[in-house]
Amino acid sequence: MNPNSLSDALTRHLTTIYQGVDGVDSDNHGQLGNKLIELMGLQQATTEPTRYVNHWDEKDCLVISYGDSVLQPEETPLQTLKRFLDRYVEDCISGVHILPFYPYTSDDGFSVLDYSSVNESLGDWSDIEAIAADYSLMSDLVINHCSARSPWFENFLNDREPGHNFFATASPDDDLSAVVRPRTNALLKEVETVRGSQFVWCTFSHDQVDLNFRNPEVLKQFVSIIRQYLDSGVRIFRLDAVAFLWKEPGTSCINLEQTHEVVRLLRTLIEHAQPDAIIVTETNIPNRENLAYFGNANEAHWVYNFSLPPLLVNSLITGDCNYLKQWMMSMPPARNGTAYFNFIASHDGIGLRPAEGLLKETEIDILVDTMQSFGGRISWRTGDQGQRKPYEINISLFDALQGTTEGPDQWGLQRFLCAHAIMFALEGVPGIYIHSLVGTHNDYQRVENAGHNRAINRHQWQYSELQARLANANSSEHQVFGGISELLKIRRQQSAFHPNATQFTLHLGSGLFGFWRQSIDRQQSIFCISNITSEVQMLNLSDINLIDNENWVDLISQLPCDGLMQSVAMEPYQTLWITNQVNG
């Protein structure tokens, strides 16, 4: 692609974004596009990106971690994190998502002070680059907001550059009644500036002030930031809270067309600069809205499968997979060049908005009550009618799966491994939170110290203690890590587990959740079946139509499943991966 055609593409994006925006002259869109090309270092001719190519396969799995989730004296946390990755998971994962590693003021990194620096308490850019040299590195682009104590905001208050017009403002008299909120605090915050009192927009907290993408200077800043991250080895960009990016009083201010067009523009720039780079949109919203960020294979390469955590946990605590099955049948296969990013635990919690319309309100209430009985906390949002509604459940996944709606039981470990066996087998790229990898419990002391519920699943391990527990065959950490790492090692050898391999839902009753995967070359089939109850369930092999002239084996137990067997007794929370072709 020559620079002129790239410039034309950017001009089309910019015209859609800035059409009708005061102060942005449509005659300057081409000039702005050329400036973006310069900031990305794309003045020379580049190769036209191929839209429908998968830059991932069955070997891909990411660990999600804070930069300081594992600590060791006399070493930067980022160095300790790499030490942990190299020793324990190098042979079963391909990449790592390091949660915001910048200087910040709140929200454990998501209230950024300076996008161009690494938090000194974590390390420096050389530590980031060392990790990026050995693993596919996902980094957060916290694009919707930054810290109210950032230099940009200080400049906003004092009418200086850069920052003069960098933040979204509104009047309390504007029609903001339809604005969708993930929080209960007031949307607008009054601040005193040298120009007088102004009301800045705060979608999340009053320490996180929303950026004003109506100002092209903000876009330029983020393109420069992206270039720096690419130069430091980042290959996967997580666009944090991007759904809220564009503000338009009188609308919901979520998922607006300008927001989608900004994602398209960033993709155009990123894939010309680095053809194998990946954009992931973090949109914790109802399922149909989330899927829209695939666009026409011209927006996100990956979208988070946000509905999976609440639906899967619901299935495992109720022993009924019907809601999970209905959702799965409704999910369109991701076309080549796009993929689902599957996860079942995160640094935040189990989001409930993605379950809206998929679980009945009574089911959500039962889920919330059960998680609270297991020590979980609830974060709230303000609903359309001003009512308080549960937004997410804050709990470690290991504690979330300690029992059922009947209470805790002896099947917690098996239930936890079952959840991951399901997730690892599903269409898409799996991401596993570091505290799920080792089965970390709720951290109540951290909640008390931090003063917010999300801290419950943000424990910090001393590396020596974690090593000791992983070495102790009787510890839950050893058993969890051993089970999960073994599943991952099996997974990465199976072509039918390619993120874009065919997937069909099986109908085996409410107690058995099953689906069929077939490799892209159609050589390998895997029937993935899990008992999601605390009772033995009988699987009739005739229900999954095993072809008689092929040898079938369960990849997990290595036991044969041949045509002479009429049924298999599945233990509570047991998973079978029955295949006709054993790889690895």
User: Nearest 10 degrees: CA dihedral of 137, 143, 144, 145?
Assistant: 100
pLDDT value at residue 584: 59
Determine whether the annotation assigns residue 347 to a binding site.
yes
Strands 188-193 and 278-282: unpaired
Give the pLDDT confidence score for residue 47 in this predicted structure: 73
Mean pLDDT of the residues in the chain:
95
Q: Tell me the per-residue pLDDT of 265-278, one tens digit each, with 9 for 90 and over.
A: 999 999 999 999 99
CA torsion sign for 305, 309, 310, 315 is: positive
> Please, which pLDDT band fits residue 563 given cuts at 50, 70 and 90?
low
pLDDT confidence of residue 269: 97
Residue 2's pLDDT is: 56
- According to the annotation, is 498 in a ligand binding site? no
Q: Percent of the chain having pLDDT more than 70? A: 98
384 is in an annotated binding site: no
Q: Does 50 score more than 90 pLDDT? A: no
Give residue-wise pLDDT tens across range 417-470. Answer: 999 999 999 999 999 999 999 999 999 999 999 999 999 999 999 999 999 999
pLDDT at 325 over 90: yes
Catalytic pick from 127, 140, 207, 240? 240
Q: Is 272 annotated as a binding residue?
A: no
Alpha carbon 108 to its chain centroid, in Å, reads: 16
Angle made by CA atoms 394, 400, 403, in degrees to the nearest 5:
155
Task: Name all domains of the chain by residue range, CATH numbers in brackets.
Answer: 502-579 (2.60.40.1180)
Under the banding of pLDDT at 50, 70 and 90, the label for residue 566 is confident
Q: Where are the alpha helices (DSSP H) in 233-381?
A: 257-273, 287-291, 308-318, 322-330, 361-373
Q: What is the pLDDT of residues 75-112, one digit of tens each?
A: 999 999 999 999 999 999 999 999 999 999 999 999 99
Band (545; pLDDT cuts 50, 70, 90): confident
Whether 175 and 251 have beta carbons less than 8 Å apart is answered as no
Residue 349: left if φ>0, alpha if ψ -120 to 50, beta else—which one? left
Tens of pLDDT, residue by residue over 115-172, are 999 999 999 999 999 999 999 999 999 999 999 999 999 999 999 999 999 999 999 9
| DSSP letters for 187-229 | SEEEEEETTEEEEEE-SS-TTEEEB-TTSHHHHHHHHHHHHHH
399 in catalytic set? no
Q: State both tokens at 458.
A: 């943000």
Residue range 174-192: mean pLDDT, rounded: 93
At 403 the pLDDT is 98
